[in-house]
Structure 1
Amino acid sequence: MAHRYKVREIAQQSGLSEATVDRVLNNRPGVRENTIAEVKQAIADLDKQRAQLRLNGRRYLVDVVMQTPQRFSDAFRAAVEAELPVFAPAMVRARFHLWEAGSTAQMVDALGRLRGSHGVVLKAQDDPEVAEAIDRLVDSGVPVVTYATDVPASARCAYVGIDNHGAGVTAAYLVQQWLGEAPSDVLITVSRSVFRGEGEREVGFRSALRNSGRSLVEVSESDGIDATNERLVLEALEAHPNVEAVYSVGGGNVATVAAFEKIGRFCRVFVAHDLDADNRRLLREGRISAVLHNDLRADARMALRLILQERGALPVEPARPVPIQVITPYNLPVQC
């Protein structure tokens, strides 16, 4: 068994003799499984203690940069702020740079104006200019973690978020099960095509419904903003009278529900993303069917941890895929 500590240190931590620890570390026969487990736990505890010593008294400033609807940025900001104390005894502070709609140039400018940052959590367009801006930050010693939507051609150290393609396939499965034999067409609402995560969700959804015989109608470029989204959805519904289901990739669900109600159209099934305040209310009222959700606090914790890992303050742990939760009115979490 590989180890980073002297036999004496592991023995002290585990309460076992040095001879026993030596037998475990060298894979000698005659050692009980629970003894091996005790040695492994002692090494893990020593790793944590070493990390605590590295963190003690250190100060880190993390920038969260996101173009996203305010309902989502508010929820993620609350998640980040709730997780900052977890990294004590280090002091981790966050600055937030959040806006709802804008150009690639605005994102590049925002990234270029960051000063004194120890790391960036980023939700941005998958665009070559954004990738270059990320690369400049990384070259200057500032690690970048992409969140919810990736920029894979950049030097970002990791992506945190759900498997977006898998989320789209899951949404298609739910829509198909709920619609059953009804010959309804499906509306897909996308906030903006430049976000890779939304594109991956849409591709997964379309691929899973390819042989269903249903027409898929897309509405995009609303930035998930309600006023814009309602107008675009109304136009789509009036042009496509057989649309009776929705997969909301990019938000604006209050507006989409309002558009159906405005023309008196029944929506048989509505699958959305993210358990923000709007979607919680719509679920409780029975106006949407299900929300594909992931734990934002777990996301925030992972993103912050990855930044501290890159700075050598924490031991390296691989980023794990974030599981998708299917939330209905009957399993709505009390807190998210």
Structure 2
Amino acid sequence: MAHPFLVKDIAFQAGVSTATVDRVLNDRTGVRPQTVARVKAAIRELEKQQAGMEIQGRKYAIDVVMEAPERFTDAVRRAFENEATTFMPTIFRCRFHLAETMRAQEIAQLLDRIRLRGTDGVVLKAPDVPEVTAAVARLESADIAVVTLVTDLPHSARTAYAGADNRAAGETAAYLIGERFAGQAATVLVTLSSNRFRGEEEREIGFRRILRERYPSIGIVEIGEGFGKSEETGVLALDALTRHPEINAAYSIGGGNRAVLAAFHQLDRTCSLFVAHDLDQENLELLRDGRVHFVLHHDLKTDARTAFRAIMGRRTAVAGSGGQCLSAVEVITPYNLPVA
């Protein structure tokens, strides 16, 4: 298999040993088909990263670790890959570790493997639990910058947070729904992917506070632990709608929006107002179809820039970017869609 890359670079990108890469490159036996596919995918990724980068600047190897639905991790991957090209001649080589669900111990073990193998920085979307914060502390002690993405670990040793003000986003959702139903009886189905994520908790806190203070006639029914997956979220939504026939609106914090809407449809119920987060492909289609009414969006490319700069700062390339670096929350309708 012809390629212009060092074996160690391919091994780093694929997350396997150099011996395994050597066996794959020389068509030796004893390697699982899945591992062969990973090595080939790593080479394709390196080729893509190299394209248009003839001017070689400093190189940074970054590991992006995320527990999130695929529709969101796809959007993050695109944002990071697109934004990386704007830093040329500095080169950011991102390796993505993505899963829809991971146990806390699995995340901690993955972070420890990354620390031992070596990296310039870690971008992390993970639950705020002790196992994860302890692994973050070990990374930072090894002088590896950790930037939390979208959902923060505020009590950890992380270098920076890249994302929106989640509490303000929840307050914005409450305002949109509250003004629509002001003075009327309404009940909102609030969906969380999991209560382990600090960002989702902050959104819910902001949402409940504004409703309590300004729109006390609006009630809430909450569902969670569907992990943003369509099947699991759909079952939870259908059960909640069956038990609470008064529900007539939805605030989706955790995703699975097609499944939530399908539950309304299955029971021949109307969702008078649907507010969602993140302008991924699914929400974009639902917004255009008029099935989702507002999307609370923040630019993931801004988050990518924040992460890159924070990691560069730890390597003394530029001024540091510690603490919180909040991106703006936009209210998106079918009439003000961002230009791609």
TM-score scaled to structure 1, two decimals? 0.81
Unaligned 5+ residue runs, structure 1? 1-54
Q: Which secondary structure state, in structure 1, belongs to the residue aligned with residue 178 of structure 2?
A: helix
What is the rounded CA distance, in whole Å, between the counterparts of 2:181 and 2:98 in structure 1? 38
Aligned to 2:338: 333
Aligned to 1:308: 312
What is the rounded CA distance, in whole Å, between the counterparts of 1:252 and 1:191 in structure 2? 8
Structure with higher Rg: it is 1
What is the rounded CA distance, in whole Å, between the counterparts of 2:261 and 2:109 in structure 1? 35
Aligned to 2:181: 179
Q: Does the 8 A contact of 1:188 with 1:219 survive in 2?
A: yes
Alpha carbons of 1:95 and 1:119: their partners in 2 closer, same or farther (altered >3 Å)?
Answer: same
**What are the within-5 Å matches in structure 2 for residues 256-275 of structure 1?**
256-275=260-279
What is the rounded CA distance, in whole Å, between the counterparts of 2:102 and 2:80 in structure 1? 23
- Deviation, 1:125, is 0.6
- Deviation, 1:84, is 1.2
Q: Does the 8 A contact of 1:172 with 1:208 survive in 2?
A: yes
Aligned to 2:152: 150
Q: Which secondary structure state, in structure 1, belongs to the residue aligned with residue 248 of structure 2?
A: strand
Aligned to 1:166: 168
What is the rounded CA distance, in whole Å, between the counterparts of 1:156 and 1:221 in structure 2? 26
Aligned to 1:32: none
Aligned to 2:99: 99
Which one-letter code corresponds to 1:244 in the other structure?
N
Q: Does the 8 A contact of 2:287 with 2:333 survive in 1?
A: yes
**What are the within-5 Å matches in structure 2 for residues 176-325 of structure 1?**
176-211=178-213, 212-317=216-321, 320-325=325-330
Q: Does the 8 A contact of 1:134 with 1:156 survive in 2?
A: yes
What is the rounded CA distance, in whole Å, between the counterparts of 2:241 and 2:85 in structure 1? 47
Which one-letter code corresponds to 1:231 in the other structure?
V
Q: Does the 8 A contact of 1:179 with 1:268 survive in 2?
A: no
What is the rounded CA distance, in whole Å, between the counterparts of 1:122 and 1:321 in structure 2? 16
1:121 corresponds, among 120, 123, 129, to 123
Q: Which secondary structure state, in structure 1, belongs to the residue aligned with residue 268 of structure 2?
A: coil
Aligned to 1:6: none
Q: Which secondary structure state, in structure 2, belongs to the residue aligned with residue 175 of structure 1?
A: helix
Which one-letter code corresponds to 2:258 in the other structure?
V
Q: Which secondary structure state, in structure 1, belongs to the residue aligned with residue 254 of structure 2?
A: coil
- Deviation, 1:317, is 4.8
Q: Which secondary structure state, in structure 1, belongs to the residue aligned with residue 326 of structure 2?
A: coil
- Deviation, 1:320, is 3.5
TM-score scaled to structure 2, two decimals? 0.80
Aligned to 1:89: 89
Give identity over the alignment, percent. 48
Q: Does the 8 A contact of 1:64 with 1:96 survive in 2?
A: yes
Q: Which digits, 9 at most, give the CA deviation of each residue in 1:242-261, with x for residues without a partner?
A: 00011111111111111111
What is the rounded CA distance, in whole Å, between the counterparts of 1:284 and 1:134 in structure 2? 40
Kindly tell me the number of residue pairs found equivalent between the two proteins. 281
Q: Which secondary structure state, in structure 1, belongs to the residue aligned with residue 212 of structure 2?
A: coil
Aligned to 1:33: none
Q: Does the 8 A contact of 1:144 with 1:156 survive in 2?
A: yes
What is the rounded CA distance, in whole Å, between the counterparts of 1:152 and 1:180 in structure 2? 35
Aligned to 2:49: none
What is the rounded CA distance, in whole Å, between the counterparts of 1:60 and 1:309 in structure 2? 12
What is the rounded CA distance, in whole Å, between the counterparts of 1:139 and 1:316 in structure 2? 17
- Deviation, 1:275, is 0.1
What is the rounded CA distance, in whole Å, between the counterparts of 2:94 and 2:299 in structure 1? 19
- Deviation, 1:215, is 2.0
Aligned to 1:112: 112
Moved more, 302-311 or 231-240: 302-311
